[in-house]
């Protein structure tokens, strides 16, 4: 991925571009990163990306550069004025040697990097309306995504050295980054508004292209490939002939024909235009390799009886010239083509106990799958020398033989169809790692192993999804289209059907009226995913060519504001559905993508005070690399924690703790919060929460009866409390600095008897010195704090409103609207008007039955007028203050086994925390304007089975809980943590790496390009 920071695909090196230089770093085994090389330039280096053959591609000003960074150096390339203005985005395909760039000249250009010739060869260029700031290329489908100041996503197909626009999204935002999730069929963007947005391809349709009738008497197999603008189809069948067809407009023209290609019915053909090879196999076990020369087929190699029986399936790697064949003998044989000879490398006699009908092969990783007549599916690794190493097996994958298999290299999903009229989706268990370049994978030995049949141990293939209902007749062929995420099937009923994996089901999708199916059984179905062509072969010899097209990109609600300012960097780990971002405020954040929702998992504290500009992520090691505006590279590890408290204060109170409140400090750089706690022992304590730990700051002078409610103003240091004796107390918070002989005592400033019975609810608005109190007597009061006294302003006692109020369990004061919200023991929520300096109280509205049983919790986001309530029915509910009434926005059953004792809400972080009577606390992400709640974390069995109070510190990213055992516990509010491991160091001396703006970096002189 191109950017200020780039991680090499094998994870061994990191590259950065800052100032007038590009820097190379080597990763050590001990999590250290060492600076190894500097390349200096005459202009600012803005972007760096991995190129072919250990090279990097750098964009500086208007120019493109490439250099090999091996120990002894290597060829270089430079293209001055690749654009007429500064280059704004870069993308590369290191395998295909492709480079895509965009610039201030409002063009997107495609190049081929030819290092041996030291040049960038121009391939294509298209105009754009505004600056393009992000490019992403998917080589598997030849698809280029672009986004920028136009606030649209554009999707291009790169074919025949042309960029052809396919679809574009509606208006989005100033797009700075693009990532693509093939498995979820989603595009992720981040931009100038600091948000992350998700998009999905919608409206995929199938357009008929051409039809040829009667091409064979019994067509059994087809193959399709494209090169440049040429679309070529090969077909064969029972008439012993092989025919090659070319698409010309809306017609399929016969290009080449070999009448007696085999002595028996032809079971399989494979076509590869890049090398001109066509491979065929027949019922008698022969394999023939052909060369397509012009419009003629030339026999290149012939192996008679390659298998003792029919060969049902072939896979060919045209670049390494390796061929895999399998058939009725149950073996998979590996061959190599050397000139005009096809030589057997290996033959595994124990692949399956019965005939093999289908295999798949990914040449890049050496990953092989096989499906057999005995209903088993196995996966293998093909080693360089031709040995097949078994990885997983699934016996009884279908109730009957396996007709077809399809493997998607990007999502690593395996699709199968069988004689039981079912289609299923499979995946290898986590812990099995694919080998690269044909080398074997590794298996986590802690996973449950099965007997591989030869004394080896393998693990079982895992079922992901299946059809909800069976087909009427079996599907003989399946194909997967990675761009749209659609699965295609064809079979004896003559229909091509389209499916999508959703959860654990494979559901059928309609493709509209343009999808005209065959009227006879379909025996073969093939797809060219790079150009989206589909070819089907009918039993009557008909060939039909279709093309899949996506009609648009739809925005998936909701988007998430990830950063204050621009969201500069975006990375995506599709295996674990993790997204990492970095922004202008300098923080790095990790998010989990769950059911199309983004949930915060972890975040840093002051990662880059000058702003983050680069980000890389390695999924296998959970390593995160970030860079700031000063070019400093920092290393982090993303830890997903077990749910244990970060800190416990076991004897904070002598008995049950009823109330805790958290106020974040005035100085954000201090990253500390003040925590108040009070309980049955009558003590009120103030604690400093810093670095995840609590330390006692001060406590009240003379503890009295139990305190049930607390409020604190961080600026004045005034604490208001109320409890069992029915009085309201005011204390002054004391600083612990300069004290000796234990923590200082907080003096009592005022005390006023205000209620008959317990005071259960308080709120304090310090700007007006206003206190709101309520309790068991059902009376609502407002008070003014005046030096050492409390002056009663208004009360519902003795007024007509008194009869409308049951026992009050919680109160909130909305200072903007002058309204008071009360939660009552009858389950109702009431709104009171307290205008005119709070000297009068008037009932405005009553929401009857807001909760079944008592409503005991109220929290508010005063900026938006959102109210969170909770009660004995176990529900969390969000309400919106609107025209003097409460309107329900969302609700969730947060404590199904009992009521909610306490809850808190942080509108800045959009996190709610609930504490249940069942002894479990849960952290929720509050999503979108609808305030939908998504569970983040759940922990049970705390505080002797009952958590009575809970609070959240945004500064510290912590949840504080209290309960019957008198302890205070500090938990991480999020599922994970970004643990700092250090910073990049110089290769000599081990000092922290510091980039200088010219051609020099600490420790060594850079080379100037």
For residue 983, what is the enclosing H or E element? strand 976-983
CB contact burial 139-155 (16+ within 10 A = b; e otherwise): eebbbbbbbbbbbbbbb
- The single residue listed with the structure tokens 């516990």 is 969
Using one digit for the tens of pLDDT, what is the confidence trace for 815-836?
Answer: 888 899 999 999 999 999 887 6
Name the pLDDT band for 120 (thresholds 50, 70, 90).
Answer: very high
Q: How confident is the model at residue 804 (pLDDT cuts 50, 70, 90)?
A: low
Query: What pLDDT is stored for residue 446 in this prediction?
Result: 32
Reported confidence tier of residue 83, pLDDT bands at 50, 70, 90: very high
Region 384-393: what's the mean pLDDT? 89
| Model pLDDT, residue 369 | 96
Mean pLDDT throughout 623-631?
91
569 has pLDDT over 50: yes
pLDDT at 557: 66
Which three-class secondary structure state does DSSP give residue 206?
strand
CB 278 within 8 A of CB 224: no
pLDDT (mean) for 632-656: 86
pLDDT digits (tens, 9 = 90+) for 128-146: 888 999 999 988 778 899 9
Query: Quick one: 385 exposed, middle or buried, by C-beta within 10 A (0-12, 13-18, 19+)?
Result: exposed
* Residue 540 banded pLDDT, cuts 50, 70, 90: confident
The pTM is what? 0.65
pLDDT at res. 514: 38
- pLDDT for 82 beyond 80: yes
The CA–CA distances, whole Å, from 245 to 40, 222, 543, 766 equal 53, 11, 10, 83
Model confidence at 1006, pLDDT cuts 50, 70, 90, reads very low
CB 534 within 8 Å of CB 527 = yes
Provide the Cα torsion 435, 113, 162, 235; round to 10°. -40
pLDDT at 1003: 31
Max mean pLDDT among 58-62, 700-704, 881-885, 923-927 falls in: 58-62
State yes or no: pLDDT of 438 exceeds 60: no
- How sure is the predictor about 1000, in pLDDT bands with cuts at 50, 70 and 90? very low
User: C-alpha 561: how far from its chain's center?
Assistant: 15
Among 107-121, 182-196, 356-370, the minimum mean pLDDT is found in 182-196
Task: Output the pLDDT for position 666.
Answer: 55
The mean pLDDT value for 293-307 works out to: 92
In whole angstroms, what is the distance from residue 859 CA to residue 495 CA?
57
> Which element (helix H / strand E) includes 922?
strand 921-927
Contacts of 212 (CB under 8 A, 6+ apart): 245, 252, 542, 543, 544
Residue 432 pLDDT greater than 70, yes or no: no
- C-alpha distances (whole Å) from 537 to each of 236, 280, 320, 544, 844 are 10, 16, 29, 7, 73
Displacement of CA 88 from its chain's centroid (Å): 25
**Separation between Cα atoms, residue 332 and residue 138, nearest integer Å:** 31
Residue 178 confidence (pLDDT): 87
User: pLDDT tens digits for 851-860?
Assistant: 998 898 999 8
User: Does an H or E element contain 58, and which?
Assistant: strand 55-60
How many C-alpha atoms does 305 have within 13 Å on its Cβ side?
Answer: 1
pLDDT at 997: 46
Tokens found for residue 431: 């812990």
Say whether pLDDT at 164 is over 90: no
Residue 424: Cβ-neighbour burial (10 angstroms; 0-12, 13-18, 19+): buried
- Asked if 881 contacts 900 with a C-beta cutoff of 8 angstroms, the reply is no
Between CA 499 and CA 507, with CA 504 as vertex, the angle to 5 degrees is 20
- Asked whether residue 751 carries a pLDDT value surpassing 50, the answer given is yes
Q: Does the pLDDT of residue 122 top 90, yes or no?
A: yes
Neighbours of 304 (CB within 10 A): 10
**Which range (193-197, 449-453, 620-624, 707-711) has the least confidence?**
449-453
Three-class SS state of 943: helix
Confidence bin at 741 (pLDDT 50/70/90): low
Per-residue pLDDT, 455: 47
505-519, 924-938, 993-1007: least confidently modelled range: 993-1007
Between the two ends of the chain, the Cα-to-Cα distance in Å is: 23
Q: Comparing 224-238, 356-370, 805-819, 981-995, which segment has the lowest mean pLDDT?
A: 981-995
Q: What is the mean pLDDT of the chain?
A: 85
Give residue 890's pLDDT: 93
d(CA 536, CA 548): 13
Confidence at residue 837, expressed as pLDDT on a 0 to 100 scale: 65
Distance between CA atoms of 263 and 179, rounded to whole angstroms?
51
Q: Name the helix (H) or strand (E) containing 616.
A: strand 612-618
- pLDDT grade for 518, boundaries at 50, 70 and 90: very low
Look at strands 311-317 and 186-191 and give their pairing.
unpaired
| 218 burial via Cβ count (<10 Å: 0-12, 13-18, 19+) | middle
* Most confident region among 14-28, 182-196, 335-349 by mean pLDDT: 14-28
Question: Would you say 689 and 675 are in contact if contact means Cβ atoms under 8 Å apart?
Answer: yes
* Rounded Cα distance, 146 and 140, in Å: 17
H or E element at residue 957:
none
Mean pLDDT confidence for 842-850: 91
- Is the model more confident about 996 or about 32? 32
Half-sphere exposure of 448 (CA within 13 A, CB side): 3
Residue 153's beta-bridge partner residues? 147
Calculate what percentage of the chain has a pLDDT beyond 70: 88
User: What pLDDT digit, counting tens, does each position of 596-618 carry?
Assistant: 667 788 888 889 988 999 999 99
The encoded tokens of residue 416 equal 């199968």
Can you tell me the mean pLDDT for 971-988?
81
d(CA 85, CA 922): 53
The predicted-structure confidence for 711-737, as pLDDT tens digits, reads as follows: 998 888 899 999 999 999 999 988 776
Q: Is the pLDDT assigned to residue 575 strictly greater than 60?
A: yes
Q: Looking at residue 1009, what is its pLDDT?
A: 36
Instruction: Name the pLDDT band for 560 (thresholds 50, 70, 90).
Output: confident
Question: Which residue in the block uniquely carries the two structure tokens 């750089």?
Answer: 669
Which pLDDT tens digit goes with each residue over 174-231? 788 888 876 666 788 888 888 888 887 765 667 788 888 888 887 889 998 887 778 8
Identify the DSSP state of 766. G
Residue 234 has pLDDT above 70, yes or no: yes
**Across 330-355, average pLDDT:** 88
Following DSSP, what letter does each residue of 267-331 receive, concatenated?
EEEEEETTTTEEEEEETTS-EEEEEEETTEEEEEEEETTSSSS-EEEEEEETTTTEEEEEETTS-
Distance CA 994, CA 79 (A): 29
Query: Quick one: what percent of the chain has pLDDT higher than 90?
Result: 45
Three-state SS for 768? helix
Length of the chain, in residues? 1009
> Residue 625 pLDDT > 90, yes or no?
yes
Backbone φ, ψ for residue 53 (5° rounding): 55, 55
- The set of residues, in sequence order, having a beta carbon less than 8 Å from that of 97 and lying 6+ positions away, is 51, 52, 112, 113, 114, 115
Phi (first) and psi of residue 943, to 5 degrees: 55, 50
Q: What is the pLDDT of residue 830?
A: 92
pLDDT at position 195 is: 83
């Amino acid at each position: 991925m191109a950017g200020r920071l780039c991680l090499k695909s094998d994870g061994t090196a990191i590259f950065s571009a800052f100032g007038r230089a590009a820097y190379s770093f080597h990763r050590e085994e001990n999590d250290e990163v060492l600076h190894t090389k500097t390349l200096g330039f005459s202009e600012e280096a803005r972007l760096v990306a991995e190129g072919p053959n250990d090279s990097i591609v750098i964009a500086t000003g208007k120019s493109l550069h490439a250099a090999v960074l091996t120990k002894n150096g290597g060829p270089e390339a430079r293209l001055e004025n690749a654009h007429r203005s500064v280059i704004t985005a870069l993308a590369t395909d290191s395998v295909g040697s492709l480079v895509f760039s965009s610039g201030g000249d409002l063009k997107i250009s495609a190049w081929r990097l030819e290092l041996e010739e030291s040049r960038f060869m121009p391939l294509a260029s298209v105009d754009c309306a505004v600056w393009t700031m992000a490019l992403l290329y998917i080589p598997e489908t030849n698809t280029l995504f672009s986004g920028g100041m136009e606030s649209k996503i554009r999707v291009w197909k790169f074919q025949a050295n042309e960029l052809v626009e396919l679809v574009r999204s509606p208006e989005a935002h100033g797009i700075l980054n693009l990532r693509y999730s093939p498995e979820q069929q989603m595009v992720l963007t981040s931009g100038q508004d600091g948000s992350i947005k998700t998009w999905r391809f919608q409206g995929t349709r199938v357009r008929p292209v051409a039809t040829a009738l009667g091409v064979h008497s019994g067509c059994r197999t087809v193959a399709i490939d494209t090169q440049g603008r040429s679309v070529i189809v090969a077909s064969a069948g029972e008439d012993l002939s092989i025919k090659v067809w070319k698409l010309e407009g809306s017609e399929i023209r016969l290009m080449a024909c070999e009448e007696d290609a085999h002595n028996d019915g032809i079971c399989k053909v494979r076509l590869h235009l890049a090398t001109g090879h066509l491979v065929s196999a027949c019922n008698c076990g022969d394999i023939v390799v052909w060369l397509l020369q012009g419009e003629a087929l030339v026999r290149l190699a012939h192996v008679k009886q390659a298998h003792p029986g029919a060969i049902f399936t072939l896979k060919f790697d045209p670049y390494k010239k390796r061929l895999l064949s399998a058939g009725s003998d149950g073996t998979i044989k590996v061959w190599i083509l050397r000139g005009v000879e096809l030589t057997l490398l290996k033959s595994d006699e124990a692949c399956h106990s019965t005939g093999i009908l289908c295999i798949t092969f990914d040449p890049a990783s050496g990953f092989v799958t096989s499906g057999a007549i005995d209903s088993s599916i196995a996966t293998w690794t093909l080693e360089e020398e031709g040995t097949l190493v078994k990885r997983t097996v699934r016996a009884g994958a279908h109730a009957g033989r396996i007709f077809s298999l399809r493997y998607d290299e990007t999502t690593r999903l395996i699709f199968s169809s069988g004689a039981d009229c079912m289609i299923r989706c499979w995946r290898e268990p986590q812990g099995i790692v694919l080998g690269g370049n044909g080398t074997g994978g590794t298996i986590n030995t802690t996973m449950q192993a099965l007997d591989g049949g030869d004394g080896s141990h393998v693990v079982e293939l895992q079922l992901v999804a299946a059809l909800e209902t069976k087909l009427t007749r079996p599907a003989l062929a399946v194909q997967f289209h990675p761009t749209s995420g659609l699965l295609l099937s064809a079979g004896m009923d003559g229909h091509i059907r389209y499916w999508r994996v959703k959860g654990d089901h494979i559901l059928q999708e309609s493709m509209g009226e343009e999808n005209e199916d065959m009227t006879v059984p379909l025996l073969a179905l093939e797809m060219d995913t790079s150009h989206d062509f589909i070819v089907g072969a009918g039993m009557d010899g008909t060939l039909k060519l279709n093309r899949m097209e996506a009609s648009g990109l739809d925005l998936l609600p909701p988007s998430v504001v990830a950063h204050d300012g621009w969201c500069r960097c975006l990375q995506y780990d599709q295996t674990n559905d993790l997204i990492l971002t970095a922004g202008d405020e300098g923080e790095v954040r990790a998010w989990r993508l769950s059911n199309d929702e983004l949930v915060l998992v972890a975040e840093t504290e002051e990662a880059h005070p000058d702003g983050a500009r680069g980000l890389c992520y390695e999924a296998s090691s959970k390593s995160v690399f970030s860079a700031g505006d000063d070019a400093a590279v920092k290393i982090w590890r993303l830890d997903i924690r077990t749910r244990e408290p970060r800190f416990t204060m076991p004897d904070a109170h002598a008995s049950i703790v009823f109330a805790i409140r958290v106020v974040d400090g005035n100085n954000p750089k201090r990253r500390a919060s003040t925590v108040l706690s009070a309980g049955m022992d009558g003590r009120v304590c103030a604690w400093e929460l810093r670095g995840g730990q609590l330390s006692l700051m001060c406590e009240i002078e003379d503890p009295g009866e139990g305190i049930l409610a607390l409020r604190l103003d961080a600026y004045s240091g005034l604490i208001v409390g109320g409890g069992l004796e029915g009085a309201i107390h005011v204390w002054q918070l004391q600083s612990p600095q300069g004290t000796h002989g234990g923590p200082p005592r907080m003096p009592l400033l005022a005390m006023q008897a205000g209620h008959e019975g317990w005071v259960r609810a308080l709120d304090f608005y310090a700007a007006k010195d206003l206190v709101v109190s309520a309790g068991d007597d059902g009376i609502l009061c407002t008070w003014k704090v005046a030096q050492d006294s409390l002056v009663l302003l208004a009360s519902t006692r003795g007024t007509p409103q008194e009869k409308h109020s049951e026992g009050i369990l919680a109160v909130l004061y909305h200072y903007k609207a002058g309204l008071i919200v009360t939660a009552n023991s009858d389950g109702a929520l009431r709104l009171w008007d307290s205008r005119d300096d709070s000297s009068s109280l008037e009932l405005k509205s009553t929401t009857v039955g807001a909760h079944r049983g008592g409503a005991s919790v109220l929290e508010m986001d005063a900026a938006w007028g959102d109210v969170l309530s909770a009660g004995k029915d176990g529900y969390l509910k969000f309400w919106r203050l609107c025209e003097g009434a409460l309107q329900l926005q969302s609700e969730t059953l947060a404590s199904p086994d009992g009521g909610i004792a306490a809850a808190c809400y942080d509108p800045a972080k959009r996190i709610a925390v609930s504490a249940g009577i069942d002894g479990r606390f849960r952290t929720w992400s509050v999503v979108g304007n609808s305030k939908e709640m998504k569970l983040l974390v759940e922990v049970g069995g705390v505080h002797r089975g009952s958590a009575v109070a809970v609070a959240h510190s945004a500064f510290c990213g912590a949840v504080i809980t209290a309960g019957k055992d008198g302890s205070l516990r500090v938990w991480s509010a999020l599922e994970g943590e970004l643990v700092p491991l250090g910073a990049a160091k110089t290769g000599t001396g081990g000092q922290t790496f510091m980039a200088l703006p010219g051609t020099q970096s600490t420790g060594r002189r850079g080379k100037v390009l």
